[in-house]
Amino acid sequence: MTTSPLSWLPLPSSTDRAEDEPASESDDQALDPVQLAALHRGRDAGEAAAAWVRSLSGRQENEDHALALEHAAAGIERASHQEVIPGGEGQLAEELRYALGADVLLGATHTGTVPDLAAGERMPLVAVCALAAAMPSCVLGDLPRELTLLAAELDAATAAGRAATTATGLAG
């Protein structure tokens, strides 16, 4: 798998790449400013969505449900960042398809219960996972337009989820 160009992009708050770290093969691939902005937008939306999903994970009494949601949060971050590889195949890694699948709502099925989610949190959670899962495929089309659109929808789904969390008084 190719390393995402976002891991080495200079950002004021980024500590992803040390000064003495060797250049990767993707360093040779020139990205225009519009692509770069879209990649940053996707990453930022993914990080915000993952933070909300981690808040859901943190309030689970059942550790297995918490772990399923934590895997989803990590999958959201990866799918919106490292898996969006300009010039790549646009495929979502198998483990990410699993992490962003139905387990976010079903939790650990062997428990016989579902995660503690308010009704208003379920749909935004599904939307966040589906939008993140779609992000890697943007490299096959018009990356700046498609990724920017998906990032905006990811932000909207995250905001809806946060609003539902706040409205139910479950924020923690």
DSSP string, 8-62: TS--TT--SS-TTSPPPGGGGS---HHHHHHHHHHHHHHHHHHHHHHHHHHT-SS
Task: Share the mean pLDDT of the chain.
Answer: 84
pLDDT digits (tens, 9 = 90+) for 75-134: 999 999 999 999 889 998 888 998 998 778 888 778 888 999 998 999 999 999 999 999
6 touches 82 (CB < 8 A)? yes
The domain tally of the chain equals 1
Domain assignment of residue 69, yes or no: yes
Domain assignment of residue 47, yes or no: yes
Domain assignment of residue 72, yes or no: yes
Domain assignment of residue 109, yes or no: yes
Domain assignment of residue 1, yes or no: no
User: Which pTM does this prediction carry?
Assistant: 0.80
Domain assignment of residue 6, yes or no: no
Residue indicated by tokens 């390393």:
3
Domain assignment of residue 79, yes or no: yes
What domain range includes position 38? 32-167
Residue indicated by tokens 């930022």:
44
What's the average model confidence in pLDDT over 62-77? Answer: 95
What's the average model confidence in pLDDT over 57-83? Answer: 95
Give the angle subtended at the CA of 129 by the CAs of 134 and 42, to the nearest 5°.
55
| Res 171: pLDDT | 62
Domain assignment of residue 140, yes or no: yes
Strands (E), 31-157: none
**Neighbouring residues of 161: CB distance < 8 A, sequence distance ≥ 6:** 52, 120, 121, 124, 125, 128
Tell me what percent of the residues of the chain surpass a pLDDT of 90.
63
